[in-house]
Chain A
């Protein structure tokens, strides 16, 4: 007889375990929602916890009653139960009780909804997070900086992230920064139509420097699982230094190479490996899709490569950023990341590849 009620007991035990485990989520889950570093994240976690305890109350009561029933009312020989058809008082009770709990949950919910849609006080730093199949473009319109897959943010400054997409629906999610929101594709603008673009927005202030992982959370095609990003939250001074580096185009043209704006002329072998790599980059057609600040490369189809040398990964979280992986990626990106839209470059010689990779690593 023990087996039947033991089953229900197990369900209760699982629920209790949940309560315990949740409180102890360790720090080594990089995308855990339980370690928020923003005001936004802390706010919605607070609501989550509130709801959690009320719902646990209901769950424990229901499961405990079930277990009690299974033990107390198991079949006994000769038992003839009274035929009870209903009880209005009970019905009122168990309608009102949950209704009250629902109100307890709804009031802070509605408050939090309105608060989190509100723009913050003061001037937020605007970042545009634009979803592509399957990488993230990040633009800082006020700063004139464009980058990809790695989002630098200053701490203790309100941030406004504007979410859009150039193709299908994506979903910007960095758990430690808070909740997620869709990146919707934009309507095409009629000729003469200026602003009026629609976008979703997330508002938050990062309160702790560090590196935070995130990834796309809306199924967007073949490599949806490999559309990852990293947020680098820095003190204001370090952030400003990063911005300055990104804006300094002259860093991205190696010495001995023709000045930007002029046609890269075929010359005698330039001195440094990086300069040779620069030549390879321009010759191989990379500029058709990629942009590097300060060079003639201004392609917008692929990620902006300014600063690629110091990014945390290649391929939006596909592989660690090492010279070897970089070479593999350039040779055959779709072979490594299913349906990636980058062309393949099987015909670069090893020497050319070595130079090209050296150049790209010089873009830090």
Chain B
């Protein structure tokens, strides 16, 4: 081991592997992945708390637990937090940690850019929530339709925290997308062709393409909104010759690819986890890859299915309906391939597998309600009601969250070296399954029986009190599941069973190295000949021993965190409604970037 330490040249002071400074200046993809995951899980608790507050308020009709304005802030932030501060970053956490390991690389292509993304995310997320301190958290819905979000109808800071905060977060996402694409295309181990990559990495690639193309659309939409609010333009002001509907088009052109950005990582996780617990390779690998790519493409052509009540006219309605229902086909293909993977296998019901099963079962239900929503006339009943809330929670909680938890339980041993407890895992699982179904299934009915979305209360005479009461109880049961998970993590970090390199006898490359991996990931880059390298011959002996030659790792740097602070500052300064503070901020960013570019490779 001493030999290994001596042969790693990764900078000097930063040879210090512990302490706050080493985390602040880290460019190691594994550490950044951990920071992303911890931050996202904290936001998950915040968003979950917001959900519980919503459910307390809605548990009975004409309740006064939360005032209208506070409720509007809470539901807006629940959605915004869960999507932008949890859903997207947690996938990035996993991409960060796992993708380089799966492709046999030592780190991502741009380690400092990686760190920059994280710090921008951290500061941006905090900024968006600062509004709570002023009772001015965003309160216009996570989708921010104009003209409600223009200065005339939301004069306060609420919409500013939202538009500026999301602008900031978008930058982090785009940078991450660029990073992962470059990494996956360029840094694969020898012999790992694209069609030999693990599915998780494939989905990361497709998702990253969606990120770098969709987020800029959102950035444009947000810039238009910010300029309307701060600098007096009229992009969205119908009364002055602009068009309020423009926001919806721009938002959903981003927004629909966004939901695929959210779910593709979960598809990737399932595709990798199922083989490990069924002892069979993924069925129809090619079709799963192609259907993922196809979903990525077609996903650009369905955005106005969020707008069927807008009155776009029969031709537009019909076009988007056709595209939406067509996209159901590749989605179904994936589900059938997962079922076929399990068929004929020998299934071990460990916790990761349980979550996979729940994901398949619940995502299918979400897909079914999605088909309903894709037919405009039927949608005129369902849109803007709790039916839609049921749909997207089934695909997001049932699909994304269940998939993510399968990933957590699967990869926790690799990251920490210890297993999560199976018994607590089963408690987590069952509380989630019972809680989530109890919360979201009745919402289909609540919507069809007349409950619109985004309402802080509902009339007694609608007789929806009982359904809402059941939903609220379900919410609390789900929360208990989160507690079980938290307890499991805390306990297992100290007392969990030691994992070893490959506790699941899985087939992908990350399981070849130690748990946790050393800073350099693999002592030697393996030669890949098949899709299941660990079942077909790559052994730990090759890659997990001490390094046989000096390995040069990227040096730590403090420029990412400084640049992140400068970027945040620049956008926040738009709120002064003057032109020169943001320009000053941009100059500061330029300064940081120049220093970053000229930073010597290994000097600190």
Question: Which B residues touch A74, using CB under 8 A?
Answer: 346-347, 349
Interface residues of B in 72-103 (CB under 8 A from A): 72
Q: Given A11-B362, A30-B461 in contact, is the A109-B283 Cβ separation under 8 Å?
A: no
Per-residue CB contact flags for chain B residues 441-464 toward chain A (1 = under 8 Å, else 0) read: 100110011111111111101111
The listed residue with most A CB atoms (<10 A of its CB), out of B371, B384, B450, is B450
Q: A47-B377, A70-B347 are in contact. Are A184 and B244 (CB under 8 A)?
A: yes
Shortest beta-carbon distance from B228 to chain A in Å:
14
Kindly report which residue of chain A lies nearest to residue B67, judged by CB atoms.
A338
Does B19 count as interface, using CB distance less than 8 angstroms?
no
**Pairwise interchain contact A98-B332, C-beta atoms closer than 8 A:** yes
Given contacts A75-B348, A110-B321, contact A33 B452 (CB under 8 A): no
* Given known contacts A14-B437, A117-B314, A339-B68, A21 and B309 CB-to-CB distance under 8 angstroms: no
Identify A62's interface contact among B141, B364, B384, B459, CB under 8 A.
Answer: B364
Instruction: Give bound CA distance, A51 to B371, whole Å.
Output: 8
Instruction: Given A32-B448, A200-B311, check contact A94 B321 (CB 8 Å).
Output: no
Pick the interface stretch among A220-228, A232-240, A282-290, A297-305.
Answer: A220-228
Bound CA span A220–B387, Å: 19
- Chain B positions 271 through 313: 1 when the CB is less than 8 Å from some CB of chain A, otherwise 0: 0000000111101111100000000000000000000011101
Segment of A79-87, A137-145, A244-252 in the binding face = A79-87
Which B residues touch A221, using CB under 8 A? Answer: 148, 153
Chain A: residues with Cβ within 8 Å of the partner, total of 102
A33 to B281, alpha carbons, bound, how many Å? 46
The interface bits of chain A over 85-109 (1 if a CB of B lies within 8 angstroms of the residue's CB, else 0) are 1110011001100110010011001
B residues with a Cβ closer than 8 A to A are 67-69, 72, 140-141, 145, 147-148, 153, 238-241, 244-245, 278-281, 283-287, 309-311, 313-314, 317-318, 321-322, 325-326, 328-329, 332-333, 335-337, 339-340, 342-349, 354, 357-358, 360-362, 364-365, 368, 371-372, 375-381, 383-385, 430, 433, 437, 441, 444-445, 448-459, 461-464
- Residue of A15, A106, A185 touching B238 (CB-CB under 8 A): A185
Within the complex, what minimum Cβ distance (angstroms) separates B388 from chain A?
10
Q: Are B313 and A117 in contact (CB under 8 A)?
A: yes
**Can you name 9 extra interface pairs (CB under 8 A) apart from A87-B283, A95-B333, A98-B328?**
A11-B365, A25-B448, A48-B372, A58-B332, A73-B345, A85-B284, A200-B310, A217-B452, A217-B453
- Give A1-38 as 1s and 0s: 1 = Cβ < 8 Å from B's Cβ atoms: 00110011011001100100110010011111110000
Between B360, B452, B453, the greatest number of chain A beta carbons within 10 A of the residue's beta carbon is seen for B452
**Given contacts A8-B357, A29-B449, A86-B287, A109 and B377 within 8 Å (CB-CB):** yes
Is A39 on the interface with B (CB-CB < 8 A)?
no
Q: Is the CB of A73 within 8 A of B322?
A: no
**What are 9 A-B residue pairs whose CB atoms fall within 8 Å in the complex?**
A25-B448, A33-B381, A33-B450, A47-B377, A70-B342, A81-B346, A179-B377, A186-B239, A217-B385
A105 and B325 contacting across the interface, CB-CB below 8 Å:
yes
A55 close to B (CB within 8 Å): yes
Q: Are the CB atoms of B456 and A171 closer together than 8 Å?
A: no
Tell me which residues across on chain B come within 8 A of A29, comparing CB atoms.
Answer: 449-450, 462-464
Asked if A51 contacts B375 (CB within 8 A), the reply is yes
Question: Shortest distance in angstroms between B280's beta carbon and chain A's nearest beta carbon?
Answer: 5
Q: Are A73 and B343 CB-contacts (below 8 A) given A11-B365, A29-B449, A84-B280?
A: yes
Question: Which of the residues B286, B365, B457, B459 comes within 8 Å of A86, measured between beta carbons?
Answer: B286
A223: B residues at CB distance < 8 A: 68
What A residues does B364 contact at CB under 8 A? 59, 62-63
Are A51 and B378 interface neighbours, CB within 8 A?
A: yes
- Cβ–Cβ < 8 Å partners of B456 in chain A: 225
Q: A7-B358, A21-B445, A47-B375 known; A91 and B287 CB under 8 Å?
A: yes
Closest to A71 in B: B347
* In contact, B454 and A219 (Cβ under 8 angstroms): yes
Cβ of A329 within 8 Å of any chain B Cβ, yes or no, is no
Confirm or deny: A215 has a beta carbon within 8 angstroms of a beta carbon on chain B.
Answer: yes
Q: Residue on A with the closest CB to B149?
A: A168
Main secondary structure of the interface of B (DSSP, over half): helix
Least CB distance from A200 to B in Å reads 4
B356 shortest CB reach to chain A, Å: 11
Asked if A208 is at the interface (CB within 8 A of a chain B CB), the reply is no
Does the CB pair B452–A69 fall under 8 Å? no
Q: Given A117-B313, A225-B68, A225-B455, are A73 and B344 also a contact pair (CB < 8 Å)?
A: yes
Chain B residues within an 8 Å CB radius of A52: 372
Given A62-B364, A73-B347, A106-B322, verify A179-B147 contact (CB < 8 Å). no
Q: Roughly how many angstroms separate A220 CA and B145 CA in the complex, as a whole number?
A: 9
Contacts of A178 in B (CB 8 A): 380
Which residue, of B349, B372, B381, has the highest number of chain A Cβ atoms within 10 A?
B381
User: Smallest distance from the beta carbon of A244 to chain B beta carbons, Å?
Assistant: 30
Which 5 pairs, one residue from A and one from B, show the smallest C-beta to C-beta distance? Answer: A31-B450, A179-B380, A225-B455, A200-B311, A79-B346
- Closest residue of chain B to A44, judged by CB? B377
Compute how far the CA of A226 lies from the CA of B71 in the bound complex, rounded to whole angstroms: 14
The listed residue (B325, B335, B437) touching A102 by CB distance below 8 A is B325
Return the contact of A219 from the options B141, B314, B332 (Cβ within 8 A).
Answer: B141
A218 → chain B closest CB, angstroms:
6
Most buried by B among A75, A184, A215: A75
A44-65 contact mask (Cβ, 8 Å, vs B): 1 or 0: 1101100110011011001101
**Cβ-closest chain B residue relative to A55:** B368
Contacting residues, chain A, for B451 (C-beta < 8 A): 31
**Contact present for B384 and A222 (CB under 8 Å):** no
- The reply to whether A7 and B357 contact each other, CB–CB distance below 8 Å, is yes
Interface check A307, CB cutoff 8 A: no
A28 to B372, CA, bound (A): 25
With both chains docked as a complex, state the minimum distance between the C-beta of A327 and any C-beta of chain B, in angstroms: 20
- How distant is the Cα of A62 from the Cα of B375 in the complex, in angstroms? 22
CB distance from B336 to the nearest CB of A (A): 4
| A86 close to B285 (CB less than 8 A) | yes
Within 8 A of B (CB), among A99-131: 99, 102, 105-106, 109-110, 112-114, 116-117
CA distance A102 to B298 in the complex (A): 16
Chain A residues with CB under 8 Å of B354's CB are: 4
Q: Which residues of chain A have C-beta atoms less than 8 A from B461's C-beta?
A: 30, 213
Query: Which one of A3, A105, A188, A317 contacts B371 once the chains associate, using CB atoms below 8 Å?
Result: A105
**Nearest chain B CB to A173's CB is how many angstroms away?**
7
Q: Are A90 and B340 touching (Cβ within 8 A)?
A: yes
> Given A43, A175, A187, which contacts B241 in the complex, CB threshold below 8 Å?
A187
Residues in A with CB closer than 8 Å to B454 are 219, 224-225
Tell me, rounded to whole Å, the shortest Cβ–Cβ distance linking B368 to chain A.
5
Contacts of A98 in B (CB 8 A): 328-329, 332
Give the residue of B278, B286, B377, B453 whose beta carbon is less than 8 angstroms from that of A113: B377
In the bound complex, residues from chain B placing their C-beta under 8 Å from that of A226 are: 457
Q: State the Cβ distance, B449 to closest chain A Cβ, in Å.
A: 4
A13 vs B335: C-alpha distance in the bound complex, in angstroms?
20
